Amino acid sequence: MHEIDAAVMREPERLSYESVQLEEPKPEEVLVDVRATGVCHTDYHAYTNQEIDCPVVLGHEGAGVVEAVGDRVTAVEPGDHVVLWVLPSCGHCEYCSSGQPYLCPKHTETRGRMPDGTTRLRGDDGPINQFFAQSSFASKAVVPERSAVPIRTDVPFEIAALLGCGIPTGIGAVTNTADVGPGDDVAVFGCGGVGASAILGADLIGARSIVAVDIEPEKLDAMRGLGATDVIDASSTDPVEEIHRLTGGVDYSFECIGRPQTLEQAFESLGRGGTAVVTTTKDTGTFEIDGGAFPRGVSIVGNMVGSIRPRVDVPKLANLYAEGRLDLDALLTDTYPLPELDEAFDALRDGDGIRNVVRMA
């Protein structure tokens, strides 16, 4: 049993910073000394969700050092630097077996607990729920072996934490879900963490036009530095008309906001044969598309966490960063110490910056 520091949510929107107990890892689990954890909208949705099962420790974009491993663990060993991947997967269902672990139903079945349905966290008054089988707003975490993805040791932990969910969702939307090729024209709606990552991904691949759309001029300015060739302030300009004027209609559009209106705009911005990618996993609500568009060969597709295969794609992204080819530094706005997680949530709510990270020490 380990005494750890954790941000415990005992009721919605109320965090208390406590010392709690963490059990030893079971045979197929890993104990990780958490160093940094990204603050994601998915945490914030849980933080404000009045129905959530409390007490719970949130945090699903962790990075740290393996401290101990269960008897049957073979993929990592103590001392390895690991990214804690958001989605647990079983490794043997039809989706895992066909290289689509992002579609594995294991996570929804266990509702965020460990794959066996239990939790390794405990307070004085009983069990504390785990979040995405991770709960990394804490000094240590026990996670399933498959969730601990080893990467090179020269990537700072606050950058490694960016590789756990939101950033790969944007990059993978471009590289995996959509398969953008060199010379393609791309539009990105919404320039938060996910949209900015989609722009980085499109630049990496060598897209021709990369049109960034947002309603905040300072976000748009920042996107030019990431590779956007054109920017559109949708609060004053109709983005659909402007995208058609600039490109004649894009090959791929990425909706990185999650609103019906911008989903419709992303679809209407397509040229012949174009594909609109709905990057978010949240319920975007009902939206209207004109069925008359389909004879132009257009399509609209979902994007489950960038279609990322963690052990394949996450180390590659870490390599690209370390080699200076993927500017993840530009996505990191601020770091907060763990006891200031509620302030990091306030910043997220207010739309301040691209991406914030909590540091454990």
Q: Helix, strand, coil proportions of the chain in percent (round to 5)?
A: 35, 30, 40
Cβ nearer to Zn ion, comparing 90 with 289? 90
Q: Give the one entry of ligand APR, Zn ion, none that residue 93 binds, where binding means its C-beta sits below a cut-off of 5 to 8 angstroms depending on kind.
A: Zn ion
Nearest to 13 by CA among 319, 323, 345, 271: 345
Q: Which of 216, 230, 340, 342 binds ligand APR (CB under 6 A)?
A: 216
Tokens of 250: 């894009």
Site for ligand APR in 243-302 (CB under 6 A): 256-258, 262, 280, 282
CA 147 to chain centre: 14
Closest residue to ligand APR, judged by C-beta, is 192
- Could you tell which of ligand APR, Zn ion, none binds residue 282, using a CB distance below 5 to 8 A set by kind? ligand APR
Q: Cα torsion at 247, 198, 182, 242 (round to 10°)?
A: 0
Using DSSP's 3-state secondary structure scheme, residue 83 falls into: strand
Instruction: Look at residue 65 and give the partner it binds from ligand APR, Zn ion, none, a contact being a CB closer than 5 to 8 Å depending on partner kind.
Output: none
Per-residue burial over 197-213, b = 16 or more CB atoms within 10 Å of its CB, e = otherwise: bbbbbbbbbebebbbbb
Both tokens of 224, joined, read: 């030019």
Q: How far is the CB of 86 from Zn ion (least distance, A)?
A: 5
User: In the chain, how long is the greatest CA-to-CA distance?
Assistant: 62
Name the one range near ligand APR by CB under 6 A: 6-14, 128-136, 183-191, 202-210. Answer: 183-191
Nearer to ligand APR, 36 or 196 (CB): 196
List 68, 75, 93, 330, residue binding Zn ion (CB under 5 A): 93
Residues numbered 41-80 forming contacts with Zn ion, rule: CB under 5 A: 42
Residue whose structure tokens are 């509620």: 342
Q: Residue 215 binds which one of Zn ion, ligand APR, none, with CB within 5 to 8 A depending on kind?
A: ligand APR
Which residues neighbour 7 within 8 Å (Cβ) at sequence distance 6 or greater?
15, 16, 17, 57, 58, 59, 137, 138, 338, 339, 341
Dihedral of the alpha carbons of 131, 92, 82, 318, in degrees to the nearest 10: -110
With contacts defined by CB under 6 A, how many residues of the chain interact with ligand APR? Answer: 22
Residue 53 CA to residue 75 CA, distance in Å, equals 32
**Which residues are within 8 A (CB) of 51 and not within 5 positions of it... i.e. 6 or more apart?**
none
Per-residue mark of binding to Zn ion, 22-41 (x: CB under 5 A): ------------------x-
Minimum CB distance to ligand APR, residue 116 (Å): 28
Mask 153-192, x = binds Zn ion (CB under 5 A)? ------------xx--------------------------
Q: How far apart are CA 265 and CA 244, in angstroms?
A: 11
Q: Give the binding range for ligand APR (CB under 6 A) out of 209-217, 241-249, 267-275, 311-319.
A: 209-217
- CA dist 169 and 36 (Å) reads 19
* Least gap, CB of 60 to ligand APR (angstroms): 12
**Quick one: which segment of 71-79, 99-107, 288-296, 336-344 binds Zn ion (CB under 5 A)?**
99-107
Q: Is 193 in the site for ligand APR (CB under 6 A)?
A: yes
Q: Is 60 in the site for ligand APR (CB under 6 A)?
A: no
Q: Rank residues 139 and 169 by Cβ distance to ligand APR and give the closer one.
A: 169
> Which residues are near ligand APR by CB under 6 A?
41, 166, 189-195, 213-216, 219, 234, 256-258, 262, 280, 282, 351
